């Protein structure tokens, strides 16, 4: 759910050696000269300890949404902004005037969540899931903004999100909070972290700054090419998924995660890869259902139309192979699937999805 709101534009990428970050050794008080800023910092210091719990809950919420959507990702992490970092940001000026008139309201990354994906298409998929499941107050694609200026450099998707009516009941403690969510590929993350580390140290000699800026730009361009190659590699592997399945271990009744991954790559050739752990997890659900062979699973899946399931679910983003199987099992077994022991943690979500599967198909 997208809700636009006005927001102060954050500081842009600065050349090395110019207007660098605040010295981390300076105290919060030394960073705040004006009374409004000092008051904001004191107010933030009072609430900051409580933000750690809210941060953990936002990480839990985002992780749950991505897992439920079958999105493949490397990690979901979070942090509550430190008082010193808040003070440094609140004290920023542009042309001698404060950047933030009301720091407590306008600094929206007090709670920060970061999602790292493997390839660039998954960045868009994550953003679409968040847009579909939460209130999106702001959404900026920093990579697109950089590209429109004809440059290479910082690339990350920045969203400011809050709970909506559907998630508020389970996350009532987040009702009065917003979170800044950064979504980027692992290569974009490597560039951003290294560049930030160099800039934060603030010890680049002025005579070396232009050359280092040029090298950072060159590295950003090379990593963008590498991201594209990783995307191509994944697409090629999905298109060339083998039709034969690896031999099963006769001593283990479960379908192994590797076997299932290979099978699903052929079964749902147009689906994205799922999180590695999820193949083993859904194999456990198959065992609960008494399904212990790929032949048995393949025969079972012929009873449902996968395209019809997608239309009924009304997906706005590409779903992973495990999610596609999850939908099929839900459609076939209904309440029996919802009631499996391995699904105890997501009964409300499965119940809502089952209602969708039994309802009319969404318009294409």
Sketch the domain layout of the chain as residue ranges.
29-228, 242-358
- Spell out the CATH class of 29-228: alpha beta
Q: In 3D, which of 281, 292, 296, 290 has the Cα closest to residue 249?
A: 292
Give per-residue pLDDT as tens, 4-53. 443 433 443 444 444 434 444 444 444 445 678 999 999 999 999 999 99
Count of CB atoms situated within 10 Å of the CB of 92: 18
Q: Looking at the whole model, is its pTM more than 0.95?
A: no
Q: Whose CA is closest to 201, among 17, 11, 10?
A: 17
For 201-234, what is each residue's pLDDT tens digit? 566 677 777 887 788 778 878 888 888 888 888 7
Mean pLDDT on 247-276: 80
Q: Which of 58-67, 140-149, 164-173, 319-328 shows the lowest per-residue confidence on average (mean pLDDT)?
A: 140-149
**Mean pLDDT of the region 322-336:** 95
């Amino acid at each position: 759910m997208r809700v636009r709101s006005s927001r102060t534009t954050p500081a842009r990428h600065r050349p090395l050696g110019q207007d660098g970050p605040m010295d981390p050794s300076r105290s919060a008080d030394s960073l705040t000269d004006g009374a409004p800023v000092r008051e904001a910092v004191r107010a933030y210091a009072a609430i900051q300890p409580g933000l750690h719990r809210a941060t953990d809950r936002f990480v839990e919420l985002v992780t749950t949404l991505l897992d439920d959507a079958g999105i493949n990702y490397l990690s979901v992490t979070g942090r509550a902004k430190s008082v010193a970092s808040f003070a440094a940001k609140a004290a920023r000026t542009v042309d001698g005037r404060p950047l933030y008139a009301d720091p407590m309201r306008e600094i929206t990354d007090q709670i920060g969540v970061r999602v790292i994906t493997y390839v660039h298409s998954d960045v868009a998929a994550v953003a679409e899931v968040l847009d579909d499941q939460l209130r999106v107050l702001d959404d900026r694609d920093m990579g697109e903004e950089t590209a429109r200026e004809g440059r290479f450099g910082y690339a990350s998707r920045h969203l400011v999100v809050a709970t909506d009516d559907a998630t508020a009941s389970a996350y009532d403690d987040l009702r009065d909070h917003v979170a800044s969510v950064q979504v980027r590929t692992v290569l974009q993350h490597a560039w951003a972290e290294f560049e930030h580390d160099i800039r934060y140290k603030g010890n680049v000699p002025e005579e070396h700054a232009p050359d280092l800026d040029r090298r950072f730009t060159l590295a950003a361009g090379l990593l963008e090419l590498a991201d594209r190659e990783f995307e191509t590699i994944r697409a090629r592997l999905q298109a060339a998924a083998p039709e034969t399945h690896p031999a099963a271990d006769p001593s283990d009744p479960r379908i192994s995660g590797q076997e299932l991954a290979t099978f699903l790559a052929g079964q749902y050739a147009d689906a994205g890869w799922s999180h590695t752990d999820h193949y083993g997890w859904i194999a456990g659900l198959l065992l609960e259902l008494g399904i212990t062979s790929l032949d048995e699973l393949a025969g079972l899946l012929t009873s449902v139309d996968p395209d019809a399931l997608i239309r009924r679910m009304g997906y706005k983003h590409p779903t992973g192979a495990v999610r596609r199987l999850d939908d099929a099992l839900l459609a076939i077994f209904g309440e029996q699937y919802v009631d499996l022991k391995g699904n105890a943690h997501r009964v409300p979500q499965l119940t809502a999805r089952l209602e969708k599967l039994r309802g009319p198909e969404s318009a294409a």
